[in-house]
Amino acid sequence: MTHQRVPGSPIFGQRADADAWATAANSCPLNTFTPISDHARAVAVAVFRAAAVWKYGFWAPTEAHILAWGGLFDSSPRRDMSWLTVDLAERAVTEHFRTSVTGWFLPADVLRGAALLRLEQEAQRGT
């Protein structure tokens, strides 16, 4: 997947002027993104919705941001991400911000947190 990283974007863990960030994000050409599945899009939207409760920078994601994050959450030939559900993603976001000292937040935080929650669920079920 190829996408442009928006300089100073609070979504990527950097502080910046919100108006300048929104302008830069909206100027990203959408045709540079790989199409993503409906499931990955739903997970990305859920992540932004859950994160908006904790951090202002997530309150109004653009289509470009949803596509970028959804692309990270989508299944690929190298890794199967079908286990990443909306519920697991939302819980991972909430847990991350509940325990975060810095307030920074990256896609890897969602994946790591959701994977740990999934393992805990499987251990409780005995699978």
118 against 57, higher pLDDT: 118
pLDDT band at 2 (very low <50, low <70, confident <90, very high): very low
pLDDT tens digits along 39-60: 889 999 999 999 888 887 777 8
Nearest to 25 by CA among 53, 65, 73: 65
Q: What pLDDT score does 61 carry?
A: 85
pTM of the model: 0.67
pLDDT tens digits along 60-87: 888 888 888 888 888 665 677 888 999 9
Q: Where are the beta strands (DSSP E) in 1-127?
A: none
The backbone torsions φ and ψ at residue 7, rounded to the nearest 5 degrees and listed phi first, read -60, 135
